Amino acid sequence: MTDDTIFARIIRREIPATIVYEDDDVLGFKDIAPQAPVHVLFIPKNEAIPTLDDVRPEQAHLIGKLALAAAHYARSEGFAEDGYRIVMNCREDGGQTVFHIHLHLLAGAPLGRFGTPG
Q: Could you list the active site residues?
A: 102
The pLDDT of residue 1 is 45
- The percent of residues above 90 in pLDDT, for the chain, comes to 87
pLDDT number for residue 4: 86
Cβ neighbours, 10 Å, residue 94: 12
Residue type for position 38: V
Task: Please give the model's pTM, rounded to 2 decimal places.
Answer: 0.92
Radius of gyration in angstroms for the set of CA atoms belonging to the chain, rounded to a whole number: 14
Helix (H) or strand (E) holding 61: helix 60-77
Q: Please tell me the least confidently modeled range out of 1-5, 86-90, 101-105, 111-115.
A: 1-5
| pLDDT, tens only, 33-72 | 999 999 999 999 999 899 999 999 999 999 999 999 999 9
